[in-house]
């Protein structure tokens, strides 16, 4: 059986790689892609999602979503992903248009038409928050949310906050308080599962997909001498290989104002919420296995 998923995303280089994995793995059935402002503006993230889908010749609907956070002023990550969001490869201008309906409408319709679909948000959670606020009935149709975001060991926007949560902390708070099972795939694992220089070099000679990913990743202004993080790809890796992760169930709160805005605060002692939990938090990962899997996945892509 295939696992039915919907991706809510803001491509972005690592989002493009995550979409690549989700589109091509035969055990995943990608029903819908929705886009949100994040790494770059919403018009660019929408175009980038469409470009990736067209690259693989797939017919997967794309719906454009929120152009700005619920309350907080918008701040992109073009310094990391480039002005277009996907530099390093020429996708051309021949790609489809998004659906006429909004991301929230498309999410509602797709979720209600399925049974136990998994949501995979890899950008800010604005669309998800709007969906839950406008159509709370969808919650019972969602098996779980596997979300890239958050950190329990230091942020990448401030010392406390990770980018996706920082971008729209009010939306994150709504999502975490919605009562839907959540897997948190944050910086605690994504900064360990670095694509090594050797892995990145091998990509370019695998096939056309490897060439495309190599072009994007070598234009990615994130990482260090040890390698480059593919943050969002870890959500797909978790769906396919949860055994590669060490997790802990805990209650996660979101800081929505002040100098720690965007911080994810875990009740690590189960001391403050009557023992209740609202998320399964990924805390460690088999980074060597991640690199091996990444290359194997791409090598199979036609």
Structure tokens that stand for 23 in this block: 């589109």
Is residue 214 part of the annotated active site? The answer reads no
Q: Which of 219, 231, 241, 273 is catalytic?
A: 231
d(CA 130, CA 133): 5
In sequence order, which residues have a C-beta less than 8 Å from that of residue 244 and are 6 or more positions away? 237, 238, 285, 286, 289, 290
Structure tokens that stand for 240 in this block: 């396919």
Q: How many residues can be counted in the chain?
A: 302
Tell me which residues are annotated as active site: 231
């Amino acid at each position: 059986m295939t696992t039915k998923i919907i991706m809510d995303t803001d491509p972005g280089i690592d989002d493009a790689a995550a979409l690549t994995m989700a589109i091509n793995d035969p055990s995943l059935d990608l029903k819908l892609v929705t886009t949100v402002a994040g790494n770059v503006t919403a018009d660019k993230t929408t175009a980038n999602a469409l470009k990736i889908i067209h690259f693989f010749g797939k017919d997967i609907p794309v719906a454009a979503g929120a152009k700005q956070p619920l309350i907080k002023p918008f701040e992109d990550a073009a310094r990391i992903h480039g002005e277009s969001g996907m530099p390093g490869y020429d996708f051309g201008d021949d790609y489809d248009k998004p659906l006429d309906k909004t991301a929230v409408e498309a999410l509602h319709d797709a979720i209600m038409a399925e049974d136990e679909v998994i949501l995979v948000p890899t950008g800010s959670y604005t669309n998800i928050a709007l969906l839950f606020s406008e159509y709370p009935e969808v919650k019972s149709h969602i098996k779980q949310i596997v979300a890239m975001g958050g950190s329990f060991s230091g942020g990448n926007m401030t010392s406390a906050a990770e980018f996706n949560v920082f971008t729209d902390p009010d939306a994150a708070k709504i999502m975490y308080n919605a009562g839907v099972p959540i897997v948190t795939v944050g910086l605690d694992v994504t900064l360990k599962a670095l694509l090594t220089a050797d892995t990145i070099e091998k990509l370019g000679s695998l096939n056309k997909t490897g060439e495309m990913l190599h072009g994007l990743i070598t234009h990615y202004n994130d990482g260090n001498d040890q390698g480059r993080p593919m943050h969002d790809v870890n959500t797909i890796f978790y769906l396919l290989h949860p055994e590669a992760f060490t997790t802990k169930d805990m209650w996660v709160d979101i800081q929505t104002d002040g100098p720690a805005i965007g911080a994810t605060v875990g009740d690590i002692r189960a001391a403050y919420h009557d023992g209740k939990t609202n998320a399964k938090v990924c805390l460690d990962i088999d980074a060597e296995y991640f690199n091996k899997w990444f290359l194997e996945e791409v090598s199979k892509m036609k």
